[in-house]
């Protein structure tokens, strides 16, 4: 599956605001609530109501401190006032993004309400979440709820369970791992074995807001070795655009009492993105994202510094990396048209003649009018050896191509 890394700029995830925050609360007679969620590219998406008026959808993201709204248009609809404005620049001083801070907003999720919250508002959806997820997503929320409740992420049943910390009891089959909370984010230390036989215990951020399985920073430890059979690739998107690096497999990672073999890992190039991975505040070797976490039922107990893992039916699922070589984005007001955003050189789709900018008209004989982006990605990135037939629209002409998907790593 194509992995998208949705990184939030350092200034947002580390900014400290001093106004009082009342936070989320359960009703007095409730000890826990269950919130159904959608799962898109391994990212958990829940409904959220802004200031009791505007229904939105937010990603549950352990990697962010304050809630983030990806488009200022929505807060403007409610005439929400802003306290501060930031202009963020990239390398060379070019402007990347304008962002605004507002406070004392109310955020309501099914069953809980949070008053007095800070909200960080981006001028536009620079990360293009909705286009690359193929569904409406308007922001991210993290520490505000993880700091208040013990939270269980049941990926298999698509349920988010919020429990009062003093009322939570792990199940008998839950595997317990200690975590540390630093700068509002959870970290775990687990052994990773590389193909050269080197085994190293690494400190990894538990990042529910990243859809990849594993990201490792070679600059953080000399024992983190990029595999010989690795691909140069666009490994994700950030506020500055595409994030470049290499993709390869590690021999195994030990997680939740299981040894998971052949995990695909991303190895970002030095200074390839602006993220707290490179910040001096909290050292880490990388991150664990949704492609690994979704193979478990995950419980995060910030108050007691524990994570509990219980395997689900996806544990043994093979890791595949973009077997077609195509990255697709959904476009249009209803996200109903599909454009080829990138074709990896040397991939089956590249050799078959697929080009950036092509529109996918049919896939395996099915009109894309009847499909969503997740259906497109599933067909393109299925197990190696499967035939893929496309009808493409290029400069007003219909073009037919076909190829066999192949695992490149």
Q: In 3-state terms, what secondary structure has residue 170? A: coil
**H helix intervals, 85-198:** 129-133, 143-146
Could you tell me the residue ranges of all domains in the chain? 10-165, 167-311, 326-404
* pLDDT < 70 regions, the chain: 1-22, 89-95, 237-241, 271-281, 408
For 227-288, list the strands marked E by DSSP. Answer: 231-238, 241-249, 252-255, 258-261, 264-268, 286-288
Q: Are 153 and 293 in contact (CB under 8 A)?
A: yes
Whether pTM > 0.85 for this model: the answer is yes
Share the mean pLDDT of the chain: 89
Q: Which residues sit opposite 69 in a β-bridge?
A: 121, 139
Query: What's the confidence (pLDDT) of residue 372?
Result: 93
Query: What's the confidence (pLDDT) of residue 279?
Result: 42
Q: Are 128 and 329 in contact (CB under 8 A)?
A: yes
pLDDT digits (tens, 9 = 90+) for 100-143: 999 889 999 999 999 999 999 999 887 788 999 999 999 999 99
Q: How many CB atoms lie within 10 A of CB 265?
A: 28
Per CATH, domain 167-311 is 1.10.20.10: no
Query: What's the confidence (pLDDT) of residue 94?
Result: 65
Residue partners of 89: CB distance under 8 A and separation at least 6: 95, 96
Torsions phi, psi for 307 (to 5 deg): -125, 135
Torsions phi, psi for 300 (to 5 deg): -110, 120
CA 18/CA 16 separation, integer angstroms = 7
Query: What's the confidence (pLDDT) of residue 382?
Result: 82
Residue partners of 308: CB distance under 8 A and separation at least 6: 170, 171, 174, 175, 176, 177, 298, 299, 301
DSSP state of 276: G
Q: Determine what percent of the chain is predicted with pLDDT higher than 90.
A: 74
Cα 132 to its chain centre, rounded Å, is: 11
CA 125/CA 141 separation, integer angstroms = 16
> What architecture (CATH level 2) is domain 10-165?
Beta Barrel (2.40)
DSSP-assigned states of every residue in 329-379: EEETTTT-EEEEEEE-TTSHHHHHT--TT-EEEEETTEEGGG--HHHHHHH
Residue 353, CB-side half-sphere exposure with 13 Å CA sphere = 10
Q: Are 154 and 174 in contact (CB under 8 A)?
A: no
Residue partners of 409: CB distance under 8 A and separation at least 6: 227, 229, 230, 231, 247, 248, 249, 264, 321
Q: Do domains 10-165 and 167-311 have the same CATH topology?
A: yes
Q: Which CATH superfamily is domain 326-404 in?
A: PDZ domain (2.30.42.10)
Task: State the Rg of the chain over Cα.
Answer: 21
């Amino acid at each position: 599956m194509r992995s998208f890394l949705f990184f939030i700029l350092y200034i947002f995830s580390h900014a400290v605001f001093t106004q009082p925050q009342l936070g989320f609360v359960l009703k007095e007679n409730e000890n826990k609530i269950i919130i159904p969620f959608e799962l898109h590219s391994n990212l958990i998406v829940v409904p959220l109501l802004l200031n009791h008026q505007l229904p939105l959808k937010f990603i549950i993201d352990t990697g962010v401190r304050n809630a983030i709204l990806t488009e200022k248009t929505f807060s403007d609809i409610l005439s929400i006032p802003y306290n501060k404005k930031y202009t963020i620049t990239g390398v060379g001083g070019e402007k990347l993004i304008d962002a605004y801070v507002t406070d004392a907003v109310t955020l309501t999720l099914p069953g809980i309400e949070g008053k007095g919250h800070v909200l960080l508002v981006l001028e536009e959806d620079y990360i293009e979440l909705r286009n690359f997820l193929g569904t409406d997503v308007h922001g991210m929320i993290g520490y505000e709820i993880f700091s208040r409740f013990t939270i269980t992420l049941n990926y298999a049943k698509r349920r988010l369970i919020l429990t009062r910390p003093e009322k939570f009891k792990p199940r008998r089959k839950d595997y317990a791992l200690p975590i540390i909370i630093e700068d509002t984010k959870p970290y775990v230390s687990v052994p990773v074995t590389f193909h050269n036989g080197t085994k190293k215990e690494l400190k990894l951020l538990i990042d529910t807001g990243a859809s990849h399985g594993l990201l490792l920073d070679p600059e953080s430890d000399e024992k983190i070795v990029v595999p010989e059979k690795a691909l140069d690739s666009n490994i994700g998107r950030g506020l500055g655009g595409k994030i470049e690096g290499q993709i390869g497999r590690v021999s195994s990672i030990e997680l939740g009492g299981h040894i998971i073999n052949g995990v695909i890992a991303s190895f970002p190039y030095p200074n390839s993105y602006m993220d707290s991975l490179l910040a001096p505040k909290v050292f880490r070797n990388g991150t664990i994202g949704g492609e690994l976490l979704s193979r478990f039922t995950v419980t995060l107990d910030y108050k007691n510094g524990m994570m509990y893992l219980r395997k689900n039916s996806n544990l043994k699922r093979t890791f595949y990396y973009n077997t077609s070589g195509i990255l697709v984005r959904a476009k249009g007001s209803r996200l109903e048209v599909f454009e080829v955003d990138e074709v990896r050189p040397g991939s089956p789709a590249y050799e078959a003649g697929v080009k950036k900018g092509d529109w996918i008209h049919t896939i395996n004989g099915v009109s894309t009018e009847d499909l969503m982006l997740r259906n497109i990605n599933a067909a393109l990135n299925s197990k190696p050896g499967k035939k893929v037939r496309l009808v493409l629209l290029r400069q007003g002409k219909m073009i037919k191509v076909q190829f066999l998907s192949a695992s490149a790593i």
